Amino acid sequence: MKFRAGELEFNASVVESSQSASPQTGNPLQLMTIQFRAQKEGVHEAAVTEALQRQSGGLYSLDESDQPEVEWRVRESNWTYVGSEPWGVNHHVWRIEQVERIACELLRLGTVELEPYDYTEEVLPDGGVRLAARALVSEDDLATISGFFGPLEVTRLGISDTPRQMRLTGYVWGERLEGLVVVLACADVRSPRVTVAGFDGDLMEDLEDLIALGAVDVEALRERRHARRRVTNVDAWELIGLG
């Protein structure tokens, strides 16, 4: 197979190939181990650099006309110098994963539907998904969002038609010329865990218990929380780097 990473083009042999389901869409994604030789020192140095720079994508396998066919990310890379200098050759081995570019056209949270103009999501180490979105919102839908407590069905149309059980982990709101804007984050509902580091779970569940027991004035809580969540410039930060 032929690959391109920036200005580097090379032929590689496939040592191992497998498939796994995408945790975001459920589509099958390829994983491969490839190996190639870098006979010149300049090619070797370029391969080392590109392996580091392509960990999020930008490596392409090429078709017969040398056009990009599939995008990949480099998950692992190493090399071994075989032979004696100056006649030896650097052998590179890359573990690569197919990149899945996604775009959320419509975000449905319960009965609320939003068309994000800014959206990002990521896969957590345990395979769960968390997302952040920024969208224009009606006054009624914003009021509905402000009252979300507990798990809800979230559908990311354009990515997957299958609803996920998620929690609203936070939101803020403000205005721009076009109207009200909400910025929100959601994460998959998951089972709690306890390790030597302590409790790893959603502390909002304790609040949900208090609400269910009638120990909290839900409307007063919603109003106080909503008032604190108003921001001056709702577009002042990027959604990446969710912590």
145: DSSP letter: H
* pLDDT at residue 242 in the model: 47
Q: Nearest CA to 95 among 56, 51, 49?
A: 51
pLDDT tens figures, 33-57: 999 999 889 999 999 999 999 998 9
pLDDT tens figures, 6-16: 999 999 999 99
Minimum mean pLDDT range among 14-18, 57-61, 84-88, 212-216: 212-216
All domains in the chain, ordered by first residue: 2-98 (3.30.2000), 106-228 (no CATH)
pLDDT tens figures, 185-205: 999 998 888 888 887 777 677
pTM over 0.75: no
Burial, 40: exposed, middle or buried (Cβ in 10 Å; 0-12, 13-18, 19+)? exposed
Instruction: Label residues 79-116 b or e (16+ Cβ within 10 Å = b).
Output: beeeeeeeeeebbbbbbbbbbeebebeebebeebebeb
Q: Quick one: which H or E segment has residue 35? A: strand 28-38
% of the chain surpassing 90 pLDDT:
68
Strands 89-98 and 118-123, bridge-based pairing:
unpaired
Q: How far apart are CA 25 and CA 44, in angstroms?
A: 36
